[in-house]
Structures are given as C-alpha cells and as structure tokens.
Amino acid sequence: MKLKSTRREFLRFLGAASTGSLMAGHFTSAAAAPTNIVASAFAGVWQDGLKAGPIACYKAKNGGDVSLVIGTPSDFAQKVMATRQRPVIDVVIGTDADVFQNAQLGIIEKLDSTKVPNMSGLVPIFTNPFDGWAFGYDGGKDGLAINTNKIKQAPKSWLEFTEQVAKGRYGRAVMYPHLTNTDGLAVTWLINRELGGSLSNPEPVLRRLREMKPYITKFYTSNAEPGTALTSGEVDMAAWTDGRTYGVQAGNKEIQFFLPSPGSPMVNICMMKVKNGSDAAWEYLNCAAEPRSQAAWNQFFPGYYGTHKNIEYPAGSREKQDPTSLDKSFKNWILVPWKEMAQVRSTWMEGWTKEIGA
C-alpha cells in the first residue's frame, strides 16, 4: 500500500509539474512577446506627433513597433475593406463624420473600456457622441482667416460673413470649404442652423451659398489650399481652421484668425479600432488616450486641443489655446449632430451639386 501510494503521489507530482510548466511558458511568452501593429496617419507633421506621443508610449509598454500608413480617411477605409478578414491596418483615424460611415461599413468595432482604461479620463463630449465606436483625439476651431492689411473689420458672426460675401463687400477674394470636406460640412450645417434650416432642410444655406458663389474664388477640398492662397495674396479671407492659420503666421503676421459667433462647430480627429485587427491595438488606443501622450503629440500642433481632462499643454500650445479648452468647458464650440448628419449627408450633397455645382 505504501508503495502504491508513493507511486500515485509521484505521478500526480509529474502531472502538476508538467501542467505548471506549460502554463508558465504560455504566460511568459504572452507577456514577453512584443507585437508590431499598423496604424494610420495623415501626411506631414502628423507622423512626428504620433511618433512622439502614442507610438513612443506603445513601444515602452508593449515593446513592439508601429508602422504608419499615410493617406486620407477614405484611403484607410478602402484598404481595410479590401482586407476585411486580415486587415492591413489595426487602428484608423478619421473625422467625426468618418466614424459613423466606418461603422455602417462594418470595418470598425466598438471600443472596450476595460481594454482602454484611459478613456475614462477623457472629457465626455469626446466619447458620448460616438456610441462607443471611437473617441475624439484632437481638434481645433473653424473660423475666419483674414488678411488684416486688406480687410480691416472682421465679420462678427457667421451670418454677417455670408451676408457680406454675398453683397460682394470683399470682392472675389474669399475661399470656402467644399461640402465633401468635413470642416465644410460642419460650417455649412452651422450656418444652415443659424438661417433657420434643419437637418432635413438644407435649402436656407444652399440658397445663401448660391448668392455667395460669384465671390468665392474656390470651394476648396484640401485644408492646405487656403494657406497658399492667403500667403500669395490670391485671397483675403477664408473660412479655415485656427491651427492651420497659426501655421502660416510665422512669415505672414497680417493673417489673423477670428472666431465668429456663435462659435465653432466641433470637428475632431477620432481614433477607431479596426474589426479583426490585432488585439495589441488596444494598447495603442490606450496610449492615445493618455494625457502625457496627448501632450507629447500636441507640441507639434500648437493651439489644437487634446481630449483628456488632465492634459498639460506645452507652453507654445497653451498660449494659443482657446480659454474654454483650457477650462475643459469647450463653450466656444457647438456640437454637431454627426450621427444624424450621416443619415442625410448624401441628400445634402445632392442639393449642393444641384445648387452650387462646384
């Protein structure tokens, strides 16, 4: 009996040791194996910001690397749709409008807050509107960039801007964003609201834009275009963003940014997890939602806001911040109903093509 008992204990020990070794090996390799992922980025300094912020954070925490695919939100969506089962991108960026389009296409998945715990520190207006599909990462203000040597008095409101352009007060020296441009869609929505229109009735703003058209040099699609036109003297005014305006001021102090009342429509660049993408993407998203990471990114974009309530802006950016982004109230911004806008955007585009034809 003693021999059998000893033999059973010995076999039980071997089984437990073998199981323990396998489990230990599994967890050791899972914890130690760095994972390389692919994220999307816009061209230019965006890459520098990501490398300083979320990519540096990801490398420190995971040990893997992050390759960047450069392009536009529509480029990213097309690449993911072509590789749905094994997507070539793990994390995509895009505007508020792109979030709901990507959700409709079925190429992103809802964010898991347990895997992105830093999301709990984001200001709620950068998570709540997206129904769990994304979070806002950064943004700026839409307003008027004006050559103050040519135009001495800036319009006080968006309605005054449209009225004066339609009357030809500024000559044919104004640029306005095209409706295919997300900032253009946001500004056009806000002006339509101020004119008494609604999501189902864009006619008020389309009528006003038709009156403005003879004095619009171009309905631009790329946000880089107004900078060239303003600095060359081709135009004297553009409905444009504050961050872009600051970017051309170094050698052109006469170009100043003005915020018409009632404020700026809120347009964010958002972070999204690609469906079927690498699970390591959760760590990258968590890094993107970290305040120190956002601050590191922000040094390349003075004046743009971060979305974490505890972000500490670099000095060069802080001095250009809107006071309501510093106090986290964001009262100078107006929330755009992006989810509802996604349902009517094609109708607005049809009206734009018919009435504006640009």
Tell me: pLDDT of 270 over 50: yes
Residue 356 belongs to a domain: no
Give the rounded distance of the alpha carbon of 248 from its chain centre: 21
Q: Tell me the HSE value of 188 on the side-chain side, using a 13 A CA sphere.
A: 31
CATH number, domain containing residue 239: 3.40.190.10
Cβ neighbours of 281 (radius 10 Å)? 26
Residue 119 has a pLDDT of 98
Alpha-helical runs (H) found in the chain: 2-32, 45-50, 56-62, 73-81, 96-105, 158-166, 182-194, 203-212, 225-232, 242-248, 281-288, 291-298, 315-318, 323-326, 338-355
- Domain C-terminal end among 212, 238, 262: 262
**How many domains, the chain?**
2
Using CA atoms, how far residue 201 sits from 80, 263, 344, 348, in Å, is 34, 22, 10, 9
Residue 74 belongs to a domain: yes
Residue 22 belongs to a domain: no
Q: Helix (H, G, I), strand (E, B), or coil: what is residue 93?
A: strand
Contact 260, 157 (CB under 8 A): yes
170 and 149 housed in the same domain? yes
Mean pLDDT estimate for the chain: 91
Contact 134, 108 (CB under 8 A): yes
pLDDT in tens, 82-124: 999 999 999 999 999 999 999 999 999 999 999 999 999 999 9
Contact 272, 92 (CB under 8 A): yes
116 and 72 housed in the same domain? yes
For 356: left if phi > 0, alpha if psi spans -120 to 50, otherwise beta; the answer is: alpha
Residue 15 belongs to a domain: no
122 and 148 housed in the same domain? no
**Could you tell me which residues come within 8 angstroms of residue 278 by beta carbon, excluding any fewer than 6 positions away?**
35, 37, 90
Contact 174, 217 (CB under 8 A): yes
Q: Which of 59-68, 198-207, 242-251 has the lowest mean pLDDT?
A: 242-251
199 and 117 housed in the same domain? no
256 and 153 housed in the same domain? yes
14's tokens: 């071997």
Contact 139, 183 (CB under 8 A): no
- Domain C-terminal end among 237, 262, 287: 262
Strands 174-177 and 216-220: parallel
Residue 346 belongs to a domain: no
pLDDT in tens, 40-75: 999 889 999 999 999 999 999 999 999 999 999 999
Residue 31 has a pLDDT of 46
Q: Which of 11-20, 187-196, 250-259, 288-297 has the lowest mean pLDDT?
A: 11-20
Residue 5 belongs to a domain: no
303 and 277 housed in the same domain? yes
Residue 353 belongs to a domain: no
154 and 115 housed in the same domain? no
228 and 278 housed in the same domain? no
247 and 162 housed in the same domain? yes
Residue 229 has a pLDDT of 97
135 and 283 housed in the same domain? yes
- Domain C-terminal end among 262, 281, 315: 262
292 and 228 housed in the same domain? no
CA angle 219/236/250 to nearest 5° reads: 105
75 and 182 housed in the same domain? no
Task: Give the pLDDT band of residue 203 (cuts 50, 70, 90).
Answer: very high
Residue 341 belongs to a domain: no
Task: Give the pLDDT band of residue 296 (cuts 50, 70, 90).
Answer: very high
Q: Which domain holds residue 106?
A: 36-139+267-327
pLDDT in tens, 141-196: 999 999 999 999 999 999 999 999 999 999 999 999 999 999 999 999 999 999 99
